[in-house]
Structure formats: structure tokens, C-alpha cells
Amino acid sequence: MPLKKRVLILGSGFSGLTAAHRLAEHVPDKVDVIVISESDLVYDNTIFPALLTDEVNIQNTYFDASKRLPPKGIKFLKSKVLDILPQSNEVKTDRGVFDYDYLIIALGGAYDENFEKIKGHENAFMHHPLEGFLGIKNMVEKEDELVALVGNAKNSPIEGPSYQVALILEYLGRKLGKKFTVYLATQSPKGMFGILPVDWIPNQVNSYAEKRGIKLIKGAYVQEISGHKVLLSNGLEVEADLISVLPTLSAPTVVKNAGLTDDSGFISVEHPTFRSTLYKNVFGVGDAAKGMIPAKTGRAAMISAENAAATIIKEVSGKSLPYYVQGVICMMHSGDYAGMLVFDSNKYVKKIDFKWGNVYKYLKKLYSAMLISSSFSTPYHMALEYYK
């Protein structure tokens, strides 16, 4: 009987666990799947904005991968990756060296590393990890009057959460009878969702935010923070009590040191497979890899992992699974209202729409509950198939 191929998956987020589940489901007799992660607690950070409104509890936002994965035939190792050695098919961790037949790198976009590069970051929150949202929540509860600035660093590919935080802060001030002034800086001169190739969606969402009292600063990113003062790229200075910023992203340093990234800072991969352009048995998925689209989202991360897993499944078993295109579905929680953006296209279909309605707030909570209960194994992403 031929030996199983060993697949090492570095990281236990959306992309890492999607790949692990798909491999364990389709080719359990062909591969041994080992997930290596620094933490055994896995969070769905896309639902964290709802923590600010008390619509979800912390205990409903995470699961323990070390308990959930082994019954599914997936081995889990809590360990820190120290070095990736693609020339010798090895990964060095603080618990030893592991060899592999296939390597899937799903270590995320180095949020902490990149946040710390923002000058004056110690005076701001980052609305991505749990700690950042809890810090924002604490200030909202404590202060009766505050000025907030929410924005992104230069070339940050993740503005959607910033829109949600700004709108929720305005809502909480109104709901609690407090005096909150909220500034939202967007990188695009077109404002919110300005990256889209249409004007009607940015115009509609900008108008909605401004009617809510949000002070939009279009075409500006956070350049520097000094105490309570935020210097924006357009030269404007804003004094704020609460400052929250999302950084630019890149592959983590340990991945860069392995020589797997290009000038973009992300893992250089082929599309649609997400196979490394340098090593045939290495795949980069999720926020660490160069995607089909510039935006970094949980859905895009899972789709990249579906494609990488499909490639390995085909090679070890001959079984063909479809490839998908990365697009954007953003369910936007804005406090007392919600909306959903859809932007997807392939060779034959192009979908672009924005719809309003509180139903999307509840769908967001339902989808998060599905992610947590399934340990990030949701095979249907409303994605379009990829065609050459």
C-alpha cells in the first residue's frame, strides 16, 4: 500500500482550515493532514463588529481547533513556525522540524507586524483582533463625549470593517444618548467602496453615511499618529479621542525570509491554483498570498484554499473539483441597519449590486454561527466558477 502524502498546513484561519477540511473529506486515504498553529483558539473576526452592539457574545465567536479537528481526521499541532525551508521540504517550529510532501501557507496578512509599522500605533486600536474591539467597546461604555477617527494605512486592502466600525460608533452614540463625532477616512477619492468600477454604489453608501452624521474624508489614509492627533495623507490633521486603524497587509516575515514573496510583499502564486510560482509543492492561500482581486476578505481566503485543495486532490487521486474566482460579498453591519455588497465576475457572468435591509445583519450572524459550528468548513461560498 503506497504511503500517504503529508500535507502541512501553516495557520488555522479561514484558508488553512478550509483546505484541511477539503483534503480530509475528499482524499483521507491519500494524505495525512497536519495543521500547525500558534494558537488552538480560532476566532471568526468578521463578526467582531457585532460585539460592540452586544448582539453576539465572545464565547460564540471562537472554537478550540485542538478538540474539533482530530475527530475529522485532521491532526493539530500547537506550535510557532520559526523557519520555512522549501528547498528541503521542511518547516522548523518550536516543537521540532517537520517534513512535507505538500505545504500550504495560510499564516495570514501579518496584521500585528504591519500595525506596528504605523508611526504612533500605540495611541490607536486596530479593529481586527478581539483586543482591539474590546478596547473600542470599553471607551464607548466609559465616555459620554468623544471624537473618533476610523481609517486605514496606505494600501490597506481591507476597508469594509472600517465602514462598519464608524457606522456602529455613530449608532451607539445615538442609542446611548452620548455625543459622538465620527470621522471616516477612505483611501479612494470616491469614498466608501470607491474601488468598485461603478459610481452608483459609492455614491449611495456615502450619502447614507453622511445622512447618519459620519464625517467622510475621501482620498486619505492614516500616515502618522501623535497622541490624540492623526495626520492624514492629504495633510489634514484630526484630533480624536478614539483612533482605530487597519494596517496594510503582507505575508509574515517568516514567509518573506523563505524567499516565497515578490515585490508586492505577498506570496507569488499562480491563479487559479494558488500554487507558488517557485515551488510546485508549495501553495500560498488567504491574506498571505497575492489574490485574484486586491481586497482581502474571509470569503476570498476560503476560495483560495478551495482552489489549492482541489489542485492537490487532483494530483493525488485524479479527482477533479471546480475552481472558483475570488470576488467580494460584504455583509455590512451598521448598527440599526445593514447592507450587502456583491461583486463577482468570471468569463461569462458579472454581478455587482448593493442591497439594504436588516436581513443582512441577521444573515451575517447566521453565517458566523455556521462557520464556528463547522470549524470553518462551509463548502458553499456563493462563488462563481473559474473559466480560462
d(CA 282, CA 302): 17
Residue 37 grid cell = 498553529
- Measured between alpha carbons, how far is residue 226 from residues 80, 90, 215 in Å? 33, 43, 21
- 163 sits in the region (left: phi over 0; alpha: psi -120 to 50; else beta) called alpha
Q: Where are the domains of the chain?
A: 5-110+249-326, 112-246
How far apart (Å, rounded) are the C-alpha atoms in residues 23 and 31? Answer: 7
Region for residue 259 given its phi and psi (left: phi exceeds 0; alpha: psi -120 to 50; beta: otherwise): left
Q: Helix/strand/coil (H, E, C) string of 92-150?
A: EECCEEEECCEEEECCCCCHHHHHCCCCCHHHCECCCCHHHHHHHHHHHHHCCEEEEEE
5-110+249-326 matches 112-246 in fold: yes
Instruction: Report helix, strand or coil for 297.
Output: coil
Assessment of whether the complete model's pTM goes beyond 0.85: yes
Task: Please state, in angstroms and as integers, the Cα–Cα distance from residue 268 to each residue in 17, 238, 273, 291, 321, following that order.
Answer: 21, 38, 12, 9, 23
Label residue 382 by pLDDT band (50, 70, 90).
Answer: confident
Helix (H) or strand (E) holding 151: strand 145-152
pLDDT digits (tens, 9 = 90+) for 155-177: 999 999 999 999 999 999 999 99
CA distances from 12 to 117, 235, 314 (A): 25, 40, 23
- Cell 482550515: give the residue: 17
Task: Give the pLDDT confidence score for residue 388 in this predicted structure.
Answer: 84
> Which secondary structure element, helix H or strand E, spans residue 174, and what is its range?
helix 160-176
The pLDDT value recorded for residue 379 is 78
Q: What is residue 381's predicted lDDT score, i.e. its pLDDT?
A: 86
Does 2 have pLDDT greater than 80?
A: no
The residue to which cell 491532526 is assigned:
75
> What φ, ψ does residue 149 adopt, rounded to 5°?
-125, 125
Query: pLDDT digit string (tens) for 341-369?
Result: 999 999 999 999 999 999 999 999 999 99
The second-level CATH assignment, the architecture, of 112-246 is 3-Layer(bba) Sandwich (3.50)
pLDDT above 70: residue 1: no
- Farthest CA pair distance, the chain: 70
- Give me the percent of the chain exceeding a pLDDT of 90: 97
Indicate the fold that domain 5-110+249-326 takes in CATH.
FAD/NAD(P)-binding domain (3.50.50)
| Per-residue burial over 20-52, b = 16 or more CB atoms within 10 Å of its CB, e = otherwise | bbbbbebbeebbbbbbbbeebebbbbbbbbbbb
Set of cell numbers at residue 44: 471568526
* Percent of the chain surpassing pLDDT 70: 99
List the grid coordinates of 194. Answer: 470607491
- Separation CA 331–CA 47 (nearest Å): 10
What's the chain's average pLDDT?
96
pLDDT of 380 over the 80 cut: no
- The dihedral over CA atoms of 258, 285, 279, 73, expressed in degrees to the nearest 10, equals 100
